Structure 1
Amino acid sequence: MVVGLISNNDDSAYREEVNQLVVWCDKNNLSLNVNKTKEITVDFRRKHMRLYREHPDQQPPSVVWQLHRRRPVVPPESEKPKPTVRVDPQSSVYTGDTVTLICEVESTGWEFLWYKNSQLLQPQNPADKNTNTISVTVSDAGTAEFRCRAHRGDYSTQDSDPVKITVRERPKATVKIQPADHVFIGETVTLTCDIDSGGYWWYHWYKGENVFSYSQRRKKYTISKVAQSHSGVYTCEGTQSANPRYSQTSDAVTLTVSEKPKPTVRVDPQSSVYTGATVTLICEVESTGWEFLWYKNSQPLRPQNPADKDTNTIRVTVSDEGTAEFRCRARRGNYQYYDDYYKKYVYGYHTKFSGPAIITIGESGGGWQYEWFKNNTPIKAAPGTNKYNISSVAQSHNGVYTCNGTQSTDPRYSQTSDAVTLTVSEKPKPELTSSHKGAALIGNPVVLYCRLDQSAGWKFYWFKHSQNPENEIKTETHSYTISSVSVSDGGQYWCRAGRGDPVYYTHYSDALWMNTTEVRASFSVLCLLSCLMAASPYVLVTIVLVVKFYRAQDASAQSLTEGRVPARRRNVHEQRGDESTRELQPLIEPVLRRPLLKSAPNSHSGKTALLSLMSTW
């Protein structure tokens, strides 16, 4: 509704307002329906003139309503000019870039309207409103669509075809500090500027707002011995000759340089501990990335668990009463470092030693109440003592047993014991064996073995002649040695095993019979050898005489077959016989003169017969 714009029959102000309404509708994507647009003029004056008289002689009423149907003259849409949009630059666009858009249309005198993704776009520079150029800084990655339209007066062009611009995220630099952003005087520090994009970058470092010129455009900058003057806020960025020509500046990181730290040791539990207890030691030091070294009574202490090496926690099981002093030290870095404490180069940067943590270790505390478990189920019948006796064990007692303890003072509870498995079998029967096969020789040693394929802890009991416990012999091992067998050691033997209090006995073994016999082997062999040596000459003479005898027999037989032998030849034979006898005389006489060997009292009858035979010769 437009009120009070017609004065003194001058409607120019009214017409101007209507034109502005048309332009406003165009700017806001509103389209007037010409066929249904009506113009109504209302005159509220008591004395007035007809603005549009149909008859000059007609008198106006007090209030005149006049309805005029006006049809604005608008050219067809297809006949309107259509602008085109040109983009500069036309290459790749990254976030943060400024894009210049140019709306080109015929003729002059236009005002330009810009739209981004169908939303009216206000120029960043107000001076661009009356020009065909607009500069836009793109901040979001993705695709953006731009259009333009030109108008002058109440006349406007068509919308241009949309131009799509693809915007990529500009790579952003990132600063990393090794070994940590909190370092200590004398450490080696490396600053790295990473840009997650391809290309050949030149790196620019900044400390605070100032250019850090020492970096010389390098990706990494190393400070070999950092000082407190190196503390500060660091950023970096990159530039290159190709798109994207520069990166986003990294987020700022703060490097803090402090004096060489001194760790502290915290002990858990902090109260008195007892032998067998496990103590947890925690080495607390500023910053991160440390490897920890532990010392007990000034000697290096290796962690019981290798995984504890890279943590600040170590667990120690104390076994001896008294006091123990624990210290720690931290190390990091893979470079050589001159250590003022050791006065030499060491591997990595070391902190100072912590102060000592002294632990007092006493005997296991009294007043424990014990709880027993079988297969993780509490045994209600078990007493609250450290011993649980099963008076008559049965196979139903098979299972896995554990226990723990509680008391009213520190330590208030113990760890649960390791599990032990109780296996119940039938009463065993040992096997009795001997080290000697057959009869035992008098004077020789004999070992008896009582073998039992069962668990340990047994003592062994030996029985001779009868299974009377009053005559038993007890040994700690499964063997029984008779060092020198006598005749009285022969007989039956048994064994059995026992353990516990009261003693639990196995079955008796089967009986083992041991026979004994006299030792004669050594004397008989000696006697036999002596006899053979004494008789050897007689055997030799006997063999010679037998040979001579057979020769004489052969000669006599030959003479009988040939007839009578001449006397001269017979004499020759006799002479030869006498000569043979004389040849054997030196051999026979010493033998015949030698006294006869008398039989030993224990000699066998065969030896006596041999000596008698020799005496006949």
Structure 2
Amino acid sequence: MNALPGATVRVTPARSVFNGETVTLKCEIKDHNNWTYQWYKDKTKGFNTAHYIVNRDSLTINGVTESDQDKFSSGAVIDGRPRTSHSSSAVYLTVNALPKATVRVTPDRSVFIGETVTLKCEIDDQYRSLNWTYLWYKDTNGTSVFEGNIYTISSSSDQDEFWCRGERDGRPSSSQYSDHLNLSVKGSKPKPKLTSDTEGSVLTGNNVTLKCDIDHWSTGWKFYWYKHTQNTEKTTTETNSYTIHSVNVSDGGQYWCRAGRGQPDYYTDYSDELWINVTENLKPVVSVDPDKQLFRGETVTLRCDIQDTGDTEWTYIWTVKKTNNRNIITQCNTQECKINNTQQTESGKYTCRGKIREQNTEMSDAITLTVSSDKPQTVLSVSPQQWLTEGDSVTLMCEVINSSTGWIFSWFTVQSLSSVNEDVDYELVSNSSGGSKGIYTVSSVTVKHTGVYMCRAERGDPVYHTEYSNTKILWITGVSPSVSLIIRPNRSQHFSSESLSLSCEDHSKSTGWTVRRYTDKLKPCSSSDWRSSGTTSTCTIRPLNTSDTGVYWCQSESGEKLHPVNISVHNDVILDSPVHPVTEGDPLTLRCLYQYKNSSNLTAEFYKDGSVVQNQTTGDMMIIPTVSKSHEGFYYCKHPERGESPKSWISVRASQMKTRSFNVITFLLAVCPYLLATVVLVFKCYRLRVPRSSVEDQLQYAVREDETSI
């Protein structure tokens, strides 16, 4: 038995064709004639489309379209034997779109009269290398006006519609038409408008951006920038903006711009001139209220001041550098930056800068805020001393430890104490709201000023209080014209290994006055460890030790205490100054003494309240011929090699007070630990043992209690 003949379909020109081409499919069967051929599209027999033409063994498709893309097959029948053939294998016909032409325009489809416009016809990339002939068409009639891929229109004066396509020998034989390009031609030459992003003056160090705008904005322009004159060397940019970075004063002046494009260059007119004024930058100053040394829980206000400007539209940028050197921009954006309830985490270096119209000032110098975790402590001190005679002057000084500014100080006297819970009642004596800055002075004390004192400070809004200070007792005694405390040598500072004589001289020839002292305990002259000789009213200490530093006074048999003075014992350098106050109008002599004198090198500098009052190359003496109240203060001397002496308080009494038998005692040490010990001892007695009577009675009771233990 013979196999049925097979059918084969041949495609001309190819199985992959372009839209619009003519395609012929032919069915071939070997060794047989007189077949009747049958054609199938996707297994469907017969065709209803007019451009399908069947001619025996051929199928022709004229003007193929995408709808013709499908599977085609054929077969045949005959009246003899064999009666049918095998159907052919299916042939898939692919229909491709023609490549499309594109019109490129330079410089732009919107041009100005007099510009040269270049149109370029391009075919899709995969077909661009083929040998195309380009045809150009103009206006609605579709008239071909030019052949070639580049069409140049010189000195354009009208607007029209342009498109193109490509033709060639071979497949594909043509491209699709390009989209139509509408060429718009504007009237007169454009004039750009030059603006800047700043108004008014520009601060040095900031950036200025100029902008050159053209009406009926189009593409392809380069921009040219001119300074001072239009003939100067120009700066060129590809965009219509030009930024001058970190301007200097020399960058100020007149500026112009214009634009150009095309080949040959087509330029716009120049813009109007624009003045740029550059002035020196401003540096803000940061201030702080109440202080940069703060305590946990306080409120602090930082203020950023910008000088020499009338602008009121500033915004402010606050930055803080923490201990880890990280710069953090705070949430504050106003002139005053307020931090409530400060904590240690607010510690850091704070800076600010101002900003207006996108311009920044310089950065301010940093101010360092330090927030302590502790409650602020106050210290109360007394000058010249706590033991006073009626008519003397005394100053109570209140100081906040580790802080110095913004405080208002208040001084109180203790009214009563509870033995159960030790709560204290206070009576306000004075405050520093008038500007006394931590100093409360009583120019002429009386016995009624005797009492226990303490102080406290406050500042800020809301008010923030310190702890109450330590206590200080003021002991005021009446004037006794008949008794004097005589000291030999007559000074308050003494060298160790020397001798000291103290005596209570009663000019009324009465008896019973003895010399008392307090170093570590309250003792009379007759105590064995004084290393002294003589009667109880005259004591000589030989040799002196530094442990003999303390408070000395005269005391009667009835307990009356007069003329307490501080005696201090030192090594190397001391100041020889009077024990008792100097009367106004009298001379004052101060000497700088050295324990081991070198006669070839006796030089000294003398200081009052920390400032030099006499600087000399030779000599160890300073003389004030006529003393006045202004000479009152703390004095000390300094040797260039051996160092400085302790401080001594020089008190000056008014001249009308000379008739008084005894003058004000000189307080020689700025801080006397032995006097402090006395105050603490007496205050303890005051709190624990004594009924609430006068403070002077309580102090006398404390002294008598100590006497019983000697």
Q: TM-score, normalization: structure 2?
A: 0.37
Answer 1 or 2: which has greater strand percent.
2
Larger Rg: 1
Higher helix share: 1
